[in-house]
Structures are given as structure tokens and as C-alpha cells.
């Protein structure tokens, strides 16, 4: 793995807010611009960080949903979020026990 891009999460998302079928999962949202950075080099991954836990997303991580929203500041733009299941790495979980 090449040095991963790091993205600090502001919050975790209950799955039911995105799709009913994801109601039992906790999700993270990755903005389009960050996803494109790591897709340019398929060997890269993104390190997601939330509080004291971390998770890696790479090209093999299943994408659960994608949503496009209008810009809330009225700039006639849209932004896209990609949703993945929050699964902190096992090593990190063990360290926190």
C-alpha cells in the first residue's frame, strides 16, 4: 500500500438515513473529490479517521450508495457523496480495548 490519503470524518451516518436496506449499518460519506484522488492510482487507499479509530477504503471496498445534492449555498452546483460501511481496522479496535 502506498501512503494513503487521509480524510478526517466529522460524523458517522446511520444507514437508515440513506436507504432502508442499510438500516442496520453505520456508514461514512466520502465526497466525490476525495474519491477521485485515490481512483487516479488504483493502488492507493484512503485512510478514514473518526475520533480514535481508522478505516481504509480502496478500490475493493464495496460502495453501498451514492447521492448527489444541490449546493446548500446556492452556487448552482451539486456535490456527490459516496457511502461505505464503517468498519474500523481490527488492529485499531484491539488497541482500544
Instruction: State the pairing for strand pair 78-85/26-31.
Output: antiparallel
Residue 1: band (very low, low, confident or very high) from pLDDT cuts 50, 70, 90? very low
Number of domains in the chain: 1
Q: Which domain holds residue 33?
A: 5-95
Residue matched to cell numbers 493502488: 43
pLDDT at 97 over 80: no
pLDDT at 26 over 90: yes
- Nearest Cα neighbor of 35 from 48, 52, 23, 22 is 48
32 class by beta-carbon count within 10 Å (0-12 exposed, 13-18 middle, 19+ buried): middle
Task: Give Cα separations from 18 to 10, 42, 55, 77, 97 (angstroms).
Answer: 17, 27, 20, 21, 30
How confident is the model over 27-75, as pLDDT tens digits? 999 887 655 555 555 557 788 899 989 998 888 889 999 998 887 787 8
Amino acid at each position: 500500500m502506498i501512503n494513503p490519503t487521509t480524510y478526517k470524518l466529522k460524523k458517522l451516518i446511520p444507514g437508515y438515513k440513506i436507504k432502508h436496506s442499510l438500516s442496520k449499518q453505520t456508514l461514512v460519506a466520502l465526497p466525490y473529490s476525495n474519491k477521485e484522488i485515490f481512483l487516479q492510482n488504483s493502488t492507493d487507499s484512503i485512510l478514514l479517521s473518526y475520533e480514535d479509530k481508522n478505516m481504509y477504503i480502496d478500490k475493493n471496498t464495496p460502495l453501498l450508495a451514492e447521492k448527489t445534492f444541490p449546493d446548500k449555498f446556492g452556487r448552482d452546483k451539486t456535490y456527490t457523496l459516496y457511502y461505505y460501511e464503517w468498519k474500523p481496522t481490527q488492529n485499531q479496535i484491539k488497541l482500544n480495548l
